[in-house]
Amino acid sequence: MRLELVKRGTEATFLVFASPFIAIAITVFVGAIFFAAIGVDPGRGVYVFFIEPISAWWSIEQLLAKATPLILIGAGLSLCFLSNNWNIGAEGQFIAGALAGSILPVVFYQFEGPLVLPLMLVMGFAGGAFYGLVPAALKTRFGASEILTSLMLVYIAQLFLDWMVRGPWRDPASFGFPKTRTFNDAAVVPTVGPFDIHAGLLVALVVSFILFVFLKRTLKGFEVRISGTAPRAATFAGVSNRNMVMFVFAISGGLAGLAGVIEVAGVAKKLQPVISPGYGFAAIIVAFLGRLNPLGVVFAALLLALTYLGGEAAQLELNITDKVTRVIQGVVLFAILACDTFILHRVRLIRRGK
pLDDT digits 0-9 by tens, 151-178? 999 999 999 999 999 999 999 888 888 9
Residue 183 lies in a domain: yes
Question: Distance between CA 256 and CA 326 in Å, rounded?
Answer: 20
Helix (H, G, I), strand (E, B) or coil at 272: coil
Residue 108 lies in a domain: yes
| Mean pLDDT value across the chain | 90
pLDDT for res 19 = 84
pLDDT for res 352 = 66
pLDDT for res 353 = 57
Show the CA angle centred on residue 128, arms to residues 285 and 260, nearest 5°: 65
Residue 81 lies in a domain: yes
**Residue that wins the pLDDT comparison between 276 and 348:** 276
Highest mean pLDDT among 35-49, 166-180, 204-218: 204-218
pLDDT for res 271 = 94
**Residue that wins the pLDDT comparison between 62 and 78:** 78
Q: How many residues does the chain have?
A: 354
Residue 105 lies in a domain: yes
**What are the tens digits of pLDDT across the range 112-123?**
889 999 999 999
Highest mean pLDDT among 131-135, 170-174, 181-185, 285-289: 131-135
Number of domains in the chain: 1
**Residue 7 pairs with which residues in a beta bridge?**
345
Section 222-243 average pLDDT: 90
**Pairing mode, if any, of strands 191-192 and 2-7?**
unpaired
Q: Residue 194 pLDDT > 80, yes or no?
A: no
- Determine phi and psi for 276, rounding to 5 degrees: -140, 135
pLDDT for res 250 = 97
Angle, helices 199-217/294-318, rounded to nearest 10 degrees = 140
Task: Calculate the alpha carbon distances from 75 to 60, 104, 213 in Å.
Answer: 22, 27, 12
Task: Provide the whole-model pTM.
Answer: 0.91
Residue 309 lies in a domain: no
Section 238-242 average pLDDT: 90
Section 195-218 average pLDDT: 91
Domain interval for residue 79: 68-291
Residue 222 lies in a domain: yes
Long-range CB contact pairs, 288-291, < 8 A, 24+ = 288/81, 288/333, 288/336, 288/337, 289/20, 289/23, 289/332, 289/333, 289/336, 290/74, 290/78, 291/340
**What are the tens digits of pLDDT across the range 281-331?**
999 989 988 889 999 999 999 988 988 888 888 888 888 887 888 888 888
pLDDT for res 332 = 85
Q: Residue 103 pLDDT > 90, yes or no?
A: yes
Q: Residue 195 pLDDT > 70, yes or no?
A: no
Residue 15 lies in a domain: no
Residue 279 lies in a domain: yes
Percent of the chain with pLDDT over 90: 56
Question: Distance between CA 326 and CA 307 in Å, rounded?
Answer: 9
